[in-house]
Amino acid sequence: MEKLTDAYQKFDEYNKTDKNVFEWEGEKYPQEYFLAIQLYDWVLKLAPDASEALLLASRCQHIGRWEIARESYAEGRVGYLTWRKDLGQFHALKAKEILLNVGFDLDEIAKVERIVLKQRIKTDPEVQTMENALCLVFLQFQYEEFHTKHDAEKVINILKKSLMKMDAHGHQFALSLTYSEKGLSYIQEALKLLA
Protein backbone atom coordinates (compact mmCIF):
# COMPACT_ATOMS: atom_id res chain seq x y z
CA MET A 1 0.00 0.00 0.00
CA GLU A 2 2.89 2.34 0.81
CA LYS A 3 4.46 1.74 -2.63
CA LEU A 4 1.12 2.45 -4.29
CA THR A 5 0.70 5.75 -2.44
CA ASP A 6 4.30 6.68 -3.20
CA ALA A 7 3.76 5.99 -6.92
CA TYR A 8 0.58 8.09 -7.01
CA GLN A 9 2.45 10.94 -5.33
CA LYS A 10 5.33 10.79 -7.82
CA PHE A 11 2.96 10.62 -10.82
CA ASP A 12 1.02 13.59 -9.44
CA GLU A 13 4.16 15.61 -8.75
CA TYR A 14 5.28 15.06 -12.33
CA ASN A 15 1.92 16.02 -13.81
CA LYS A 16 1.69 19.11 -11.60
CA THR A 17 4.61 20.54 -13.60
CA ASP A 18 2.31 20.84 -16.65
CA LYS A 19 2.13 24.53 -17.51
CA ASN A 20 -1.11 24.04 -19.45
CA VAL A 21 -4.02 25.14 -17.29
CA PHE A 22 -7.37 23.37 -17.02
CA GLU A 23 -10.25 25.38 -15.59
CA TRP A 24 -13.11 23.58 -13.93
CA GLU A 25 -15.89 25.10 -11.83
CA GLY A 26 -13.93 28.30 -11.28
CA GLU A 27 -10.70 26.59 -10.21
CA LYS A 28 -7.45 26.27 -12.18
CA TYR A 29 -5.30 23.14 -12.26
CA PRO A 30 -2.23 21.86 -14.15
CA GLN A 31 -4.09 20.14 -17.00
CA GLU A 32 -2.61 16.63 -16.97
CA TYR A 33 -2.74 16.48 -13.17
CA PHE A 34 -6.46 17.32 -13.20
CA LEU A 35 -7.23 14.85 -16.00
CA ALA A 36 -5.22 12.05 -14.33
CA ILE A 37 -7.20 12.44 -11.10
CA GLN A 38 -10.47 12.34 -13.07
CA LEU A 39 -9.32 9.26 -14.99
CA TYR A 40 -8.43 7.50 -11.74
CA ASP A 41 -11.88 8.37 -10.32
CA TRP A 42 -13.65 7.06 -13.42
CA VAL A 43 -11.71 3.78 -13.28
CA LEU A 44 -12.88 3.33 -9.68
CA LYS A 45 -16.50 4.05 -10.70
CA LEU A 46 -16.32 1.58 -13.59
CA ALA A 47 -14.37 -1.09 -11.70
CA PRO A 48 -14.58 -0.68 -7.90
CA ASP A 49 -12.40 -3.79 -7.52
CA ALA A 50 -9.78 -2.56 -10.02
CA SER A 51 -6.36 -4.19 -9.80
CA GLU A 52 -3.31 -2.32 -8.56
CA ALA A 53 -1.91 -2.28 -12.12
CA LEU A 54 -5.09 -0.68 -13.51
CA LEU A 55 -5.16 1.96 -10.77
CA LEU A 56 -1.50 2.79 -11.35
CA ALA A 57 -2.05 2.98 -15.11
CA SER A 58 -4.98 5.33 -14.65
CA ARG A 59 -2.83 7.76 -12.68
CA CYS A 60 0.00 7.81 -15.29
CA GLN A 61 -1.86 7.15 -18.56
CA HIS A 62 -0.90 10.53 -20.04
CA ILE A 63 2.02 11.45 -17.79
CA GLY A 64 4.09 14.27 -19.27
CA ARG A 65 1.80 14.51 -22.31
CA TRP A 66 2.69 18.18 -22.82
CA GLU A 67 6.35 17.29 -23.46
CA ILE A 68 5.63 15.97 -26.96
CA ALA A 69 3.72 18.62 -28.89
CA ARG A 70 1.27 17.66 -31.62
CA GLU A 71 2.70 20.56 -33.67
CA SER A 72 6.05 18.77 -33.91
CA TYR A 73 4.42 16.16 -36.20
CA ALA A 74 3.03 16.44 -39.71
CA GLU A 75 -0.55 17.56 -40.26
CA GLY A 76 -3.18 14.96 -41.09
CA ARG A 77 -4.08 11.48 -39.94
CA VAL A 78 -0.65 9.85 -40.42
CA GLY A 79 1.05 12.57 -38.39
CA TYR A 80 -1.63 12.33 -35.71
CA LEU A 81 -1.36 8.56 -35.41
CA THR A 82 2.44 8.70 -35.26
CA TRP A 83 2.21 11.32 -32.50
CA ARG A 84 -0.25 9.17 -30.52
CA LYS A 85 1.96 6.09 -30.86
CA ASP A 86 5.07 7.99 -29.75
CA LEU A 87 3.15 9.48 -26.84
CA GLY A 88 2.06 6.03 -25.67
CA GLN A 89 5.66 4.80 -25.67
CA PHE A 90 6.74 7.95 -23.82
CA HIS A 91 4.05 7.54 -21.13
CA ALA A 92 4.95 3.86 -20.66
CA LEU A 93 8.65 4.70 -20.31
CA LYS A 94 8.04 7.51 -17.79
CA ALA A 95 5.74 5.26 -15.78
CA LYS A 96 8.35 2.47 -15.78
CA GLU A 97 11.10 4.83 -14.57
CA ILE A 98 8.96 6.05 -11.66
CA LEU A 99 7.68 2.60 -10.72
CA LEU A 100 11.19 1.13 -10.73
CA ASN A 101 12.32 3.99 -8.52
CA VAL A 102 9.46 3.33 -6.09
CA GLY A 103 10.33 -0.38 -5.92
CA PHE A 104 7.78 -2.20 -8.08
CA ASP A 105 8.96 -5.40 -9.76
CA LEU A 106 9.19 -5.83 -13.52
CA ASP A 107 6.16 -8.13 -13.73
CA GLU A 108 3.86 -5.55 -12.14
CA ILE A 109 5.38 -2.77 -14.26
CA ALA A 110 4.76 -4.85 -17.41
CA LYS A 111 1.06 -5.05 -16.47
CA VAL A 112 0.90 -1.26 -16.09
CA GLU A 113 2.69 -0.76 -19.42
CA ARG A 114 0.25 -3.11 -21.20
CA ILE A 115 -2.68 -0.98 -20.01
CA VAL A 116 -0.96 2.35 -20.74
CA LEU A 117 -0.18 1.14 -24.27
CA LYS A 118 -3.78 -0.11 -24.59
CA GLN A 119 -2.72 -3.52 -25.85
CA ARG A 120 -5.48 -6.05 -26.61
CA ILE A 121 -8.34 -3.57 -26.29
CA LYS A 122 -11.72 -5.33 -26.64
CA THR A 123 -10.20 -8.59 -25.35
CA ASP A 124 -8.52 -7.43 -22.13
CA PRO A 125 -11.11 -6.22 -19.56
CA GLU A 126 -8.62 -3.89 -17.85
CA VAL A 127 -7.61 -2.20 -21.10
CA GLN A 128 -11.30 -1.88 -22.00
CA THR A 129 -12.02 -0.27 -18.63
CA MET A 130 -9.22 2.20 -19.28
CA GLU A 131 -10.62 3.04 -22.73
CA ASN A 132 -14.09 3.55 -21.25
CA ALA A 133 -12.65 5.82 -18.56
CA LEU A 134 -10.63 7.87 -21.08
CA CYS A 135 -13.72 8.47 -23.20
CA LEU A 136 -15.78 9.38 -20.13
CA VAL A 137 -13.20 11.94 -18.98
CA PHE A 138 -13.40 13.53 -22.44
CA LEU A 139 -17.21 13.54 -22.42
CA GLN A 140 -17.51 14.93 -18.90
CA PHE A 141 -14.75 17.52 -18.86
CA GLN A 142 -13.76 18.41 -22.44
CA TYR A 143 -16.58 17.58 -24.84
CA GLU A 144 -18.83 20.61 -24.32
CA GLU A 145 -16.01 23.05 -25.10
CA PHE A 146 -14.75 20.86 -27.94
CA HIS A 147 -18.03 20.60 -29.87
CA THR A 148 -18.49 24.38 -29.95
CA LYS A 149 -15.18 24.79 -31.81
CA HIS A 150 -15.79 22.29 -34.63
CA ASP A 151 -18.39 21.63 -37.29
CA ALA A 152 -21.11 19.05 -36.68
CA GLU A 153 -19.71 16.46 -39.09
CA LYS A 154 -16.30 16.42 -37.40
CA VAL A 155 -17.81 16.26 -33.91
CA ILE A 156 -20.15 13.38 -34.81
CA ASN A 157 -17.32 11.48 -36.51
CA ILE A 158 -15.05 11.82 -33.45
CA LEU A 159 -17.89 10.83 -31.12
CA LYS A 160 -18.61 7.78 -33.28
CA LYS A 161 -14.95 6.67 -33.05
CA SER A 162 -14.91 7.25 -29.27
CA LEU A 163 -18.17 5.39 -28.70
CA MET A 164 -16.93 2.48 -30.87
CA LYS A 165 -13.95 2.08 -28.54
CA MET A 166 -16.27 1.81 -25.54
CA ASP A 167 -18.35 -1.19 -24.53
CA ALA A 168 -21.96 -1.34 -23.33
CA HIS A 169 -20.88 -0.72 -19.71
CA GLY A 170 -19.10 2.47 -20.77
CA HIS A 171 -22.05 3.57 -22.89
CA GLN A 172 -24.35 3.37 -19.86
CA PHE A 173 -22.18 5.82 -17.97
CA ALA A 174 -21.76 8.07 -21.03
CA LEU A 175 -25.53 8.40 -21.40
CA SER A 176 -25.92 9.24 -17.71
CA LEU A 177 -23.81 12.43 -18.00
CA THR A 178 -25.34 15.89 -18.39
CA TYR A 179 -24.96 17.57 -21.79
CA SER A 180 -26.20 20.71 -23.48
CA GLU A 181 -29.04 20.22 -25.93
CA LYS A 182 -26.69 20.49 -28.92
CA GLY A 183 -24.06 18.29 -27.28
CA LEU A 184 -26.64 15.58 -26.63
CA SER A 185 -27.98 15.78 -30.19
CA TYR A 186 -24.48 15.08 -31.57
CA ILE A 187 -24.11 12.06 -29.28
CA GLN A 188 -27.49 10.73 -30.39
CA GLU A 189 -26.48 11.14 -34.03
CA ALA A 190 -23.21 9.29 -33.40
CA LEU A 191 -25.06 6.46 -31.64
CA LYS A 192 -27.42 6.11 -34.64
CA LEU A 193 -24.37 5.57 -36.87
CA LEU A 194 -23.26 2.73 -34.59
CA ALA A 195 -26.64 0.99 -34.65
Q: What is the pLDDT of residues 43-75, one digit of tens each?
A: 999 999 999 999 999 999 999 999 999 999 999
| 195 pLDDT more than 90 | no
Q: What does the H/E/C string look like for 134-149? A: HHHHHHHHHHHHHHHC
CA distance 55 to 4: 9
Q: In this predicted structure, what is the pLDDT of residue 82?
A: 95
pLDDT digits (tens, 9 = 90+) for 111-127: 999 999 999 887 899 99
Q: Give residue 180's pLDDT.
A: 96
**For the CA atoms of 27, 11, 84, 80, what is the dihedral angle to 10 degrees?**
30
Residue 194 scores a pLDDT above 90: no
Residue 21 confidence (pLDDT): 97
- Whether the per-residue pLDDT at 1 is higher than 80: the answer is no
Mapped onto helix, strand or coil, the DSSP state of residue 99 is: helix
pLDDT of residue 174: 93
Going by C-alpha positions, the residue among 128, 122, 68, 125 that lies closest to residue 92 is 68
pLDDT at 120: 86
pLDDT of residue 178: 95
Q: Name the CA radius of gyration of the chain, rounded.
A: 17
pLDDT of residue 34: 98
**Residue type for 18, please?**
D
